[in-house]
Amino acid sequence: MRLRINVTRKVFNMKRSVIDILDLSVAEIDSLIQTATDIMDHPAKYAHACDGKILATLFFEPSTRTRLSFESAMYSLGGHVISVPGSSNSSVVKGESVADTAHTVSCYADIIAMRHPQEGAALVLANAASIPIINAGDGGHCHPTQTLADLLTIHREMGHFDHLTIGVCGDLKYGRTVHSLIEAMSRYPGVRFVMISPETLRAPTFVRDALNRKQIPYRETTSLEEAMPELDILYMTRVQRERFSDPELYERVKDSYILTPEKLRTAKSDMRVMHPLPRVNEISVQVDEDPRACYFKQMLYGRYMRMALILMLLGDTEFPAPRPLIYDRFVCKNHRCISQTEQELRHAFYQVGDSDIYRCVYCEAKAK
Ligand code: NCD
């Protein structure tokens, strides 16, 4: 199979990016799952699909799985990969803006996967680039391609997405994978969430407000033991040490949840344990032997979903209408937001439904 590049896209410089998991419709996610499954069954069919195409990986934060799976995905499609080995080696340390980085890399590659410590950085990159952008994690905001790996895992392990009770446990405040997973799973009927975290690491308001608005049932608890028996999926996460400004607070919460075989005794026999990895100590290695543990499969599925996504974005012809934005009426106060540092970036907010709530388009902090 060889990719057919749409001529209009090349001529008019249009492109499709994935910054948030909601940039993909439910139908597109179904189609990515089908493609990923076909790739797993018939890898040779795709071995030249991206011949001559170049993926640039820009990782300004540590990564093992995400970066290697993107690179392995592109090589498996017959394409090439270029990258800047680490943030300390790129012009970003010389003070180059994200937008200028986008102009630069657009000259050398056909698609970019970027991870950046600031919330909204991937959106700034996409707005300035002339090639498709994939958000490989923007600060504590979101991580759509981890969610693609998670969705394929759920699909293969459970056979369906609807009517699942999903427990998300650990650092729900800074855990970007959880934010994207909740957004994605909220679109399937009968799904409910149990959010298990210390009080200081509750999910941010942009996640909880969206659930309230869509009337999706969820509850919050501090006790993993109490939640365990009702869960179909337990999604564990690491406490994100790098996002804490107060190291003492990190020390206080870092060992809040440690999953052990004993704690799994009250779980359903067909519950699945997931984790985006890396784990620090929140899942005992003894759990790895449990047939319900599927975090190592998640890693493998990530590679195939990233292959499917690269194929889709390099060949895509449909462009959703941009979200209407309000410029310069509000100023984002979130110190982790890209709008705090990016050169001459205008503050841009979107209205939540028809409410009087406005959120920063980059990091989703509420306008005050
Ligand atoms: C996650 C991330 O980077 O957000 N890792 C990953 O991409 N698989 C989770 C984490 O770092 O805790």
Mean pLDDT value of segment 267-289: 98
Q: How confident is the model at residue 88 (pLDDT cuts 50, 70, 90)?
A: low
- Pair of tokens at residue 291: 């047939």
Residue 317, pLDDT > 70, answer no
Arithmetic mean of pLDDT over the chain: 93
Q: Which residue among 118, 177, 283 is best mutated to probe the pocket of ligand 1, counting the most ligand atoms within 8 A of its Cβ?
A: 177
* Ligand 1, pocket residues at CB < 6 Å: 65-66, 137, 143, 146, 176-177, 238, 276-278
Residue 258 belongs to a domain: yes
Confirm whether 94 is a catalytic residue.
yes
Q: Is residue 359 predicted with pLDDT exceeding 50?
A: yes
pLDDT at position 3: 56
pLDDT band at 12 (very low <50, low <70, confident <90, very high): very low
| Atom of ligand 1 at shortest range from CA of 115 | 3
> Do 127 and 155 sit in the same domain of this protein?
no
Q: Does residue 32 register a pLDDT over 80?
A: yes
Which ligand 1 atom lies nearest to the CA of residue 61? 3
* Cα 361 to middle of ligand 1, angstroms: 22
Domain count along the chain: 2
Which CATH number is 265's domain given?
3.40.50.1370
Question: Which pLDDT band holds residue 9 (cuts at 50, 70, 90)?
Answer: very low
pLDDT value, residue 318:
63
Residue from 9, 15, 16, 115 carrying the catalytic annotation: 115
Task: Verify that 44 and 160 share a domain, yes or no.
Answer: no
Q: Pocket of ligand 1, candidates 57, 277, 301: which has the most ligand atoms within 8 Å of its Cβ, to mutate?
A: 277
Is residue 199 scored above 70 in pLDDT?
yes
119 and 148 fall within a common domain: no
Same domain? 163 vs 285: yes
> Which residue range(s) make up the domain with 242?
144-299
CA atoms of 281 and 255, how far apart (whole Å): 8
Q: Residue 321 has what pLDDT?
A: 76
The mean pLDDT of 336-342, rounded to a whole number, is 95
Q: CA 17, 22, 28, 32 torsion: positive or negative?
A: positive
Average pLDDT over residues 314-332: 84
Q: Are residues 282 and 160 in the same domain?
A: yes
305 and 223 in one domain?
no
69 alpha carbon – ligand 1 mean position (Å): 13
pTM (predicted TM-score): 0.93
The pLDDT of residue 157 is 98
In a domain, 268, yes or no: yes
- What pLDDT is stored for residue 323 in this prediction? 83
Read off the tokens for 149: 């790996």
On whether both 156 and 98 belong to a single domain, the answer is: no
Indicate the pLDDT class of residue 94, thresholds 50, 70 and 90. confident
- pLDDT for res 368: 85
Q: Which range (11-25, 268-282, 348-362) has the least confidence?
A: 11-25
Looking at residue 8, what is its pLDDT?
37
- Give the Cα separation of 206 and 355 in Å (integer): 14
Looking at the fold, whether 136 and 148 belong to one and the same domain comes out as no
Q: What is the pLDDT of residues 96-109, one digit of tens each?
A: 999 999 999 999 99
Lowest mean pLDDT among 10-14, 137-141, 299-303: 10-14
Mean pLDDT of 84-111: 86
Residue 106 lies in a domain: yes
Q: Which pLDDT score, from 0 to 100, does residue 14 have? A: 64
Span 62-71, pLDDT tens digits: 999 999 999 9
20 and 99 housed in the same domain: yes
Residue 296 has phi, psi (to 5 degrees) of -80, -30
Say whether pLDDT at 187 is over 50: yes
The yes-or-no answer on residue 115 being catalytic is yes
Question: Can you give the pLDDT at residue 95?
Answer: 83
For the chain, the first-to-last Cα distance in angstroms comes to 51
pLDDT exceeds 70 at position 89: no
